[in-house]
A and B are shown apart, each in its own frame.
Chain A
């Protein structure tokens, strides 16, 4: 065994390291071991275990919580790829439970009903890395300052509608571009406007990118949706309801994986988009009662 006492686990390097390994891939929402197997068979780079897909949470209403540990362990038993799971915003005990299960990544997620209306989880206190959603750069930097190792644009989960994901990606990446053009005095104003720690804003001005990888989530239903997110600057995609709420999940999952890899190659995207059957029906933003993206502070 190579592990010795001097080995360091749970560091930010190790946490961000796993996020790096997921780049260019598709992380798929699954609610049971059968779906997890289909996801792995289709080329998912990780699965997200949750109790109900966002479209069902939206339909059924009620309080959405962390998944049954039994279900998470069954999923861990059938796949060899990383297994993620969701905890409610601010619900650090759900996160502790997920940590004890050896979950590879914890998603502090607005798709579940928030447990705390002013505080997010102190993510530095945990061994597994955390991913958090963001609608804009300020929100992303606040989550990073709390210890998130990966940011995903929130989009609007469970709608099959990519419009909010595009809005959030454009907002985050657009502001990063503007900050790289700002002079040192303007960075103070940026930090104030974004309600984000100044050193993180200064670091973005220097490096031209976030401190952690940026993925896209919320509303991806087709191969073209995934490629759109990637061309806008996302480094990987989460697909929730889009796969297992479609007519024929396995081919759709495979095609989204291929489109995410070949995101600049329209001929390949066209090829993999043929004969996939109906995507999830989807809903317009004017027709939804609860915007998940508004959760989180």
Chain B
């Protein structure tokens, strides 16, 4: 495991969980910011990264692949050891304390005190784009919601960072940042930069 002394941005390697889903879009944003990224598919990949992005995709597929690739326990240990993680959509589901409407055998890291409901906004015909109210330089953020999960409750230790209508769509607890939408599809690097500030 990597020694966690404070590194400069150019020395960081940001892992992107690449079992399934939109991992290449996250890598493209990280490359645009100028940090090096690495696809994580094995425990050996995980050993050399300083932080981990969990992308959108199918959470049930990723859950099974986390087990078959022997990645669940190593990632769990790193998160407990305060590795920064950023989960978007399916990635948020993987990090949540409770998953509603998931599969019974679906794994989660219980890394952030939120309850999320899978596919809560409906099927693909209900997927949508919307402007998100966010308290950040540059103003609102363009949100792309694809068969999105919904944060249905937050624990007291969780900070809501952005809203879409009445729903919290971006939240943080310590080193864990989650979004129910897809900042990697919005051509806007601000949320990845926000994540990197905590690394």
Partners in one complex: yes
Q: Could you count the A-B residue pairs with CB atoms below 8 Å apart for me: how many are there? A: 145
Interface contact B127-A17, CB-CB below 8 Å: yes
Residues of A within 8 A of B21 (CB): 20-21, 23-25, 45
A23 touches B131 (CB 8 A): no
Interface residue count on the B side (C-beta < 8 Å): 48
Query: Are B185 and A17 in contact, CB atoms less than 8 angstroms apart?
Result: yes
**A20 touching B20, Cβ below 8 Å:** no
A interface size (C-beta, 8 A) = 43
Bound Cα distance A82, B125 (Å)? 11
Query: In the assembled complex, how far is the CB of residue B135 from the closest CB belonging to chain A, in whole angstroms?
Result: 17
* Interface membership of A1, Cβ < 8 A: yes
A195 within 8 A of B: no
> Interface majority SS on A: helix, strand, loop or mixed?
loop
A23 near B23 with CB under 8 A, answer yes
Bound-complex Cα distance A20 to B56 (A): 9
Asked if A257 is at the interface of the complex by the 8 Å CB criterion, the answer is yes
Chain A residues contacting B129 (CB-CB under 8 Å) are 7-8, 11, 13-14
Tell me the complex Cα distance, A1–B101, Å. 17
How long is the Cα–Cα vector from A128 to B127 in the complex, in angstroms?
9
> B65: nearest residue on chain A (CB-CB)?
A261
CB pair A82–B124 under 8 Å, yes or no, is: yes
A86 CB → nearest B CB, Å: 16
Task: State whether A257 and B124 are in contact (beta carbons under 8 Å apart), knowing that A1-B167, A104-B147 are contacts in the complex.
Answer: no
Per-residue 0/1 for A77-105: is the Cβ within 8 Å of any B Cβ (1 yes, 0 no)? Answer: 00011100000000000000001001011
Kindly provide the distance from the CB of B8 to the nearest chain A CB, expressed in whole angstroms. Answer: 30
Complex CA distance for A46 and B147, rounded to whole angstroms: 13
Which of A6, A24, A127, A235 has the most chain B CB within a 10 Å cutoff? Answer: A24
Specify which of A3, A13, A24 is in contact with B185 (CB 8 Å cutoff): A13
List residues of chain A with CB within 8 A of the CB of B166: 1-2
